[in-house]
Amino acid sequence: MTISITTPAEVKTRLAAGEEVVLLDVREQSEVDEWSYPTAIHIPLGELEARVGELPTGVGIICACRSGGRSMKAAVFLDTLGFVVTNLEGGQLAWAEGND
């Protein structure tokens, strides 16, 4: 199993073009309160298994977190369930600082 990777620049370009992008933010609520991804669905990693039914099916999901570690865990989990997933490389740190 290989999880695809995308960069913040690629996601920002897709959003700017009006493309439907499903971002799944798996950070804790306190982190989201400080800064949030545009249009993201927020489900903390620790709640993902119980709340997986809240995710849309039939579309690709981009998993995101602070730096890419938790989102990769989420991506691997969702991949085992048959979701089409991509991990956001560098997470919030790369997104917010423009290191894309």
Q: Cite the active site residues.
A: 65
Contact in structure between 25 and 47 (CB atoms under 8 Å)? no
Residue with tokens 């800064």: 35
For strand 61-64 and strand 41-42, is the pairing parallel, antiparallel, or unpaired? unpaired
Calculate the alpha carbon distances from 30 to 20, 27, 33, 44 in Å: 27, 8, 5, 10
State whether residue 97 is helix, strand or coil.
Answer: helix
Task: Answer whether 56's CB lies under 8 Å from 22's CB.
Answer: yes
